[in-house]
Amino acid sequence: MKVSVLDQTPVPQGATGPDALRNTLDLARLADTLGYHRYWLAEHHGGRMLAGPSPEVLIGPLAAATSRLRVGSGGVMLPHYSALKVAESFSLLAGLYPGRIDLGLGRAPGSDQLTAFALQRDRRERAPDDFPEQLAELLAYLEDDFPPQHPFARLTALPGVPEAPEPWLLGSSPQSALWAAQLGLPYAFADFINPRGAEIAALYHERFTDSGRLPAAQGMVAVSAIAAATDEEAERLAASGRMAFAMLRRGNPIPVPPVEDALRFLAANPVSSDRRLVLGAPATVRAGLEAVAREYGAQEVMVVTIVHDHAARRRSYELIAEAFGLSRSDADSASGSREWRAATTA
């Protein structure tokens, strides 16, 4: 089973957005040395908790700082953008980093409704819900597949040709699974949003059509997880994310708080959540992630980790890599991280 990383670029309390972005670069470099398969960047807008509104901007620096990872979007929220602009941007990245660029695509706004409206270029009315048409147009640009007489046919001369990104459809609902199956695209399900997606993933596999893009269904599941030296320490670290998401649900997004602050908050404000979180010592987390992958029939699991301390987040990914026996490169991850931080702060 392949193991990958989804980075939402969390902003720890007491840090700045630039600090969070440097942490993302540092974690990508570490993931590259540890043997993770992909490193995807999320798109979120208008909040204080996450500093990643533009995965297409971050992919280039991450790809330049790494050598083995596939780097991509998890995902581009297509309703905000022109299909042509997305095709051009990711074609350019694929040309610069051949065979390493993924284009994960989502329908959700990655924001609240007001922020989504602010992102619109034309605000005379709400943007239409035409995701299937946008997606078909984007694929036609990337695959040079417009009919000869189509007015956009000449626009497929993209800057990275003959290289191209690998498109994925992201989702947490039955509709996204059906679109991915009908189009023969690989499908990534967000279990960290909807942990009841096994039947949806099964629907994707059942309805998959070979469109010439993939010979068979290719599924991935993205899961929230934290590994630490002990189950108890992992549970303690999880308090920061639990408080941050509780505040987000209240409409008051905050930076990710320190553990002690979060523990005090949760003691005074018990919160319940139906979201899955795989926690524990390395063996516990491996068993949990493998169980989720079996549940989804997924060939790949993508791990998203939200904690306050960046060192704890790094250590979590190190422990997961060790638990899965990922192939570590010859580069020393610790010294590589120090060199990268020195280069980015000089």
Residue 110 has pLDDT above 70, yes or no: no
Q: What is the mean pLDDT of the chain?
A: 91
pLDDT, tens digit, for every residue of 226-269?
999 999 999 999 999 999 999 988 888 999 999 999 999 999 99
Give the relative orientation of helices 310-324 and 231-249 as an angle to the nearest 10 degrees: 120
Q: Which domain holds residue 80?
A: 2-345
pLDDT, tens digit, for every residue of 134-170?
999 999 999 999 999 999 999 999 999 999 999 999 9
pLDDT at 287: 98
For 233, residues 6+ apart whose C-beta sits below 8 A from its C-beta are none
Q: Which two tokens stand for residue 336?
A: 């590589």
Separation between Cα atoms, residue 208 and residue 192, nearest integer Å: 23
pLDDT category, 46, cuts 50, 70, 90? confident
DSSP string over 64-102: HH-SS-EEEEEEEEGGGS-HHHHHHHHHHHHHHSTT-EE
pTM of the model: 0.91
Contact 336, 29 (CB under 8 A): yes
pLDDT category, 336, cuts 50, 70, 90? very low
Give the relative orientation of helices 131-143 and 83-96 as an angle to the nearest 10 degrees: 40
Q: List C-alpha distances in Å: 56 to 166, 216, 337.
A: 14, 28, 23
pLDDT at 274: 79
Separation between Cα atoms, residue 30 and residue 340, nearest integer Å: 10
**Count of domains for the chain:** 1
Residue that wins the pLDDT comparison between 108 and 149: 149
Q: For residue 223, give the CATH number of its domain.
A: 3.20.20.30
pLDDT category, 113, cuts 50, 70, 90? confident
